[in-house]
């Protein structure tokens, strides 16, 4: 009897414990990709949890069951995920908090003969996975899906392609921390929320041409082994590519999501014609392997590419329109093309004093770094003097304010005569100051004196200074620095000088010195007559520009002083005549000045005295005779010549 009682108690205990054991022990169910109605244990649990509007975290599910040794725990088939999203997404009341599936492995092998299942393998990061993923793995196909709820796939591992072409989501699409062994194809994807891929890894390409995101796009700290294309996209919020790494490691030939092999020009990042309504963050991003194309991009806010941004190849920003500023300080670049770009506020080549660093791209036989600003327009330029590349294209470049230091220090000026490249198309276009003159004109340009008249601490520039100032660099950049900056353009024209002079005039800078250098530059050419007249105009009147026009006064004072000295000697020779003896040095100087100045009469008595004999009937008593008469005639002609040059120069300076 006792034995029967024991058995009954044992049976009752088993009946009570068996439901608990049923929950704890996972029965492993295996479904093939073709079995649409079959669900694995993980899939059944996800369907139940998502149906309740809760978060389906596969890590928590596998940790809470006794199936850690099972490799299939946490694995979902792409077809199941697609059907679940499609069923739930149509009704926002069924899942008011959205669809949340986290930390799952989404993979299902395609039927393949003699190949081990791809889902049970680890793909090496050194190999291009796109072909194998395409051939062996079933994609997660969300194309043309319409979803009224948010989609959260945080931390999932997709061993397949993610296809979202033409899909529409009313809320956020979250792919943070996702690992995608294939590619992400989201052409013409639309979302009223945002698309986030924070810290995601994509082994293939990211194709999002025509993307529409009202809330913004985030790829912060993500890694893309293939290429990133977002041609013609429109982003209503911020575009955040901070610390993004795009390796563009794979070859030109790639697989289209329509499963046909096509060949496209390889561009690491293609954001051509994209429209960003707010800010574009790219600080700290690294892009290697191929070129970057931002041509036609419109950003209503600021483009941040500062502090560690590294673009190994060419960056094309042709025809971009940036509503605020383009910040490149502290970045590492090789070539930036801003042809016909418009930056409404500021082009910044420094960040907290750190300049933009330039390094020629690998394999470039020329070894030059470039910043192309042809036909671009910016509001202001903020830099440090070491922030510029070897070569700058300035043709048609318009800026309201000239390059200026972020703190006005003006220090660390680049070496004098650091040219862009000594050769262009085999022809030498620039020379170092230590080289011998290459022509007579080169010799003249170098040997025109650079004197100044010094009176203690005050000096008058007699001719333009031709050497780099010594000592500490002053706050205002010298004309030598500006000339070197302009001459980094191998195709420099006089228009670049005019633009710089205009911009310096806006801030009270030394615009006259730039105009002076422009006149020297403009005389280059085969016309020797024009060259000679230009040199004469430079020497005599400083082209009539600003304080340089005082050279005419220097020459006039010199000629008048010499003539007055010789006339005073003549008066000494005629000292036996009382009329001549009373003429002192001052009288002789003003008489010479009257002779020099055309159409100006200081005293009619001076003119009558000089051109008539002192003693009537005695020709030898005439003050001006012989060589002195010839000298005063030359003095009068010199006055006419100086006046003519001066009027012509002043007219040109005034733009008349």
- Where a domain ends, among 510, 539, 568? 539
Distance CA 306, CA 324 (A): 15
- Position 68 pLDDT exceeds 70: no
Q: How many residues does the structure list for the chain?
A: 656
As a whole number, the mean pLDDT across the chain is 78
- Where a domain ends, among 539, 568, 586? 539
In this prediction, residue 29 carries a pLDDT of 58
In this prediction, residue 110 carries a pLDDT of 77
pLDDT tens digit sequence for 291-302: 899 999 999 999
Are residues 516 and 433 located together in one domain of the fold?
yes
In this prediction, residue 422 carries a pLDDT of 37
**Cβ distance 290 to 227 under 8 Å?**
yes
Structural domain includes residue 515:
yes
Distance CA 244, CA 643 (A): 66
Q: What angle do CA 543, 547, 553 make, to 5 degrees?
A: 80
Residue 358: pLDDT band with limits 50, 70, 90: very high
Are residues 534 and 599 located together in one domain of the fold?
no
Q: Which two tokens stand for residue 217?
A: 């796009």
In this prediction, residue 123 carries a pLDDT of 67
- Position 409 pLDDT exceeds 60: no
User: How many structural domains compose the chain?
Assistant: 3
- Position 263 pLDDT exceeds 60: no
Structural domain includes residue 186:
no
Instruction: Name the percent of the chain lying above pLDDT 70.
Output: 72
Are residues 489 and 573 located together in one domain of the fold?
no
Q: What is the CA radius of gyration of the chain?
A: 41
Mean pLDDT of all residues in 190-219: 93
Of 220 and 654, more confident = 220
Mean pLDDT of all residues in 564-570: 83
Of 8 and 461, more confident = 8
In this prediction, residue 2 carries a pLDDT of 53
Lowest mean pLDDT among 56-60, 125-129, 173-177, 364-368: 125-129
Structural domain includes residue 177:
no
In this prediction, residue 585 carries a pLDDT of 83
Structural domain includes residue 194:
no
Mean pLDDT of all residues in 405-410: 52
Are residues 48 and 108 located together in one domain of the fold?
yes
Mean pLDDT of all residues in 192-208: 92
Residue 614's domain comprises: 552-654
Structural domain includes residue 264:
no
pLDDT tens digit sequence for 415-472: 333 334 333 333 334 434 344 455 555 555 544 444 444 434 444 444 443 333 333 3
pLDDT winner (highest mean) among 38-52, 116-130, 367-381, 516-530: 367-381
- Where a domain ends, among 121, 150, 179? 121
Are residues 533 and 626 located together in one domain of the fold?
no
In this prediction, residue 137 carries a pLDDT of 85
Are residues 436 and 527 located together in one domain of the fold?
yes
What are the b/e assignments for 403-413, b being 16+ CB within 10 Å? bbbbeeebeeb
Of 35 and 74, more confident = 74
Q: Which two tokens stand for residue 603?
A: 């005293």
Structural domain includes residue 372:
no
Distance CA 394, CA 402 (A): 13
Could you give the C-alpha distances from 550 to 257, 347, 451, 643, 646, in angstroms and in order? Answer: 74, 38, 14, 12, 10
Residue 32: pLDDT band with limits 50, 70, 90: low
- Position 605 pLDDT exceeds 60: yes
Residue 572: pLDDT band with limits 50, 70, 90: confident
């Amino acid at each position: 009897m006792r034995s029967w009682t024991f058995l009954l108690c044992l049976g009752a205990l088993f009946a009570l414990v068996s439901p608990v054991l049923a929950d704890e022990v996972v029965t492993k169910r295996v479904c093939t990709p073709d079995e649409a109605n079959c669900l694995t244990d993980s899939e059944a649990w996800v369907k139940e949890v998502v149906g309740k509007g809760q978060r389906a975290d596969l890590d928590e599910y596998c940790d809470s069951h006794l199936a850690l040794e099972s490799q299939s725990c946490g694995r979902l088939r792409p077809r199941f995920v697609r059907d679940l999203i499609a069923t739930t997404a149509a009704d926002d009341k069924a899942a008011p908090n959205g669809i949340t599936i986290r930390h799952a492995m989404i993979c299902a092998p395609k039927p393949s003969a003699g190949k081990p299942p791809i889902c049970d393998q680890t793909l090496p990061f050194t190999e291009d996975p796109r072909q194998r993923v395409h051939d062996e793995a079933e994609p997660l196909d969300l194309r043309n899906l319409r979803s009224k709820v948010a989609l959260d796939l945080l931390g999932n591992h997709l061993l397949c392609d993610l296809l979202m072409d033409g899909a529409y989501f009313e809320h956020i699409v979250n792919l943070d921390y996702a690992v995608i062994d294939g590619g992400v194809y989201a052409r013409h994807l639309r979302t009223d929320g945002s698309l986030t891929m924070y810290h995601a890894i994509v082994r293939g390409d990211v194709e999002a041409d025509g993307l529409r995101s009202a809330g913004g796009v985030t790829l912060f700290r993500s890694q893309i082994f293939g290429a990133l294309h977002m041609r013609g996209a429109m982003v209503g919020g911020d575009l955040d590519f901070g610390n993004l790494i795009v390796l563009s490691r794979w070859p030109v030939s790639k697989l289209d999501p329509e499963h046909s092999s096509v060949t496209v020009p390889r561009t690491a990042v293609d954001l051509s014609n994209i429209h960003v309504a707010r800010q574009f963050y790219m600080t700290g991003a690294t892009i290697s392997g191929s070129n970057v194309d931002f041509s036609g991009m419109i950003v209503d806010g600021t483009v941040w590419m500062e502090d560690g941004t590294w673009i190994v190849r060419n960056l094309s920003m042709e025809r971009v329109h940036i509503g605020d500023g383009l910040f490149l300080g502290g970045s590492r670049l090789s070539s930036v093309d801003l042809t016909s770009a418009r930056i409404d506020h500021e082009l910044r080549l420094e960040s907290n004093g750190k300049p933009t660093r330039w390094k020629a791209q690998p394999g470039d036989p020329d070894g030059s770094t470039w910043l192309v600003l042809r036909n671009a327009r910016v509001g202001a330029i903020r830099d440090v003097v070491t922030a510029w590349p070897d070569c700058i294209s300035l043709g048609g470049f318009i800026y309201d304010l000239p390059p200026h230091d972020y703190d006005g220090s003006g220090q660390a000026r680049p070496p004098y005569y650091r040219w862009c490249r000594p050769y262009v198309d085999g022809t030498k276009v620039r020379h170092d100051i230590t080289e011998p003159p290459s022509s007579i004109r080169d010799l003249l340009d170098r040997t025109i004196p650079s004197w100044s008249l010094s009176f203690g601490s005050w000096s008058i520039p007699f001719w333009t200074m031709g050497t780099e100032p010594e000592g500490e660099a002053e706050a205002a950049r010298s004309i030598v620095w500006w000339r070197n900056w302009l001459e980094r353009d191998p195709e420099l024209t006089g228009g670049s000088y005019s633009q710089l002079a205009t911009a310096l005039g806006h801030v009270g800078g030394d615009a006259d010195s730039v105009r002076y250098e422009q006149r020297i530059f403009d005389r280059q050419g085969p016309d020797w007559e024009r060259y000679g007249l230009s040199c004469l105009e430079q020497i005599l009147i400083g082209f009539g520009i600003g304080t340089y026009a005082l050279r005419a006064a220097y020459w006039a004072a010199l000629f008048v002083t010499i003539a007055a000295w010789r006339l005073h000697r003549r008066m000494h020779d005629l000292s036996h005549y009382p009329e001549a003896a009373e003429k002192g040095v001052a009288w002789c100087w003003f008489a010479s000045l009257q002779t020099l100045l055309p159409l100006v009469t200081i005293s009619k008595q001076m003119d009558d005295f000089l051109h008539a004999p002192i003693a009537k009937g005695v020709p030898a008593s005439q003050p001006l005779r012989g060589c002195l008469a010839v000298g005063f005639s030359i003095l009068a002609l010199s006055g006419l010549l100086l006046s003519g040059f001066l009027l012509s120069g002043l007219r040109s300076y005034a733009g008349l």
